[in-house]
Amino acid sequence: MSGVDPHSHGEYASLNLAQAVLLVCYEFMQAQDEVPEWTRKTASREEMEAMYGHLHETMHLIGYTDAVRARHTLRLWRAMLDRALMSSAESRLFRGLLRQVQWKVQDAARGNGDDQTGKRSGE
């Protein structure tokens, strides 16, 4: 032998790593077949429709859309939000945001709005 350590695998280090990665991936994929798929409960159609109604009202309130463009705009929002497969909790969270927006706009319209410094208007 020409001075090469027979126990040294330096020439094959990347091959050994590739084989190890392949083996781990194979075992992972095999394990996936044995684990029951976790499915989360998505919001019901009724919950989603109530959310879309709330979104529609809020869009009009803040001037985000008007009667002419509302149908098209809401269709785009529906497509996006339907793809999200929201849970009931997520749809309630979104509606909470819409309620807060509505409250803030209505409060400001009554002249009770806070400015950016946290002081009431007129202080």
Tokens of 41: 């409960």
Tokens of 1: 């032998």
For the chain, 123 residues long, the average pLDDT of each consecutive 10-residue run is: 54 64 74 64 95 95 91 95 94 96 92 59 48
pLDDT for 29 equals 73
Tokens of 63: 């001037």
pLDDT for 31 equals 73
Sequence-distant (≥ 6) Cβ neighbours of residue 90 within 8 angstroms: 43, 84
pLDDT for 32 equals 65
CA–CA distance, 52 with 63 (Å, rounded to integer): 16
pTM: 0.60
Sequence-distant (≥ 6) Cβ neighbours of residue 97 within 8 angstroms: none
pLDDT for 117 equals 47
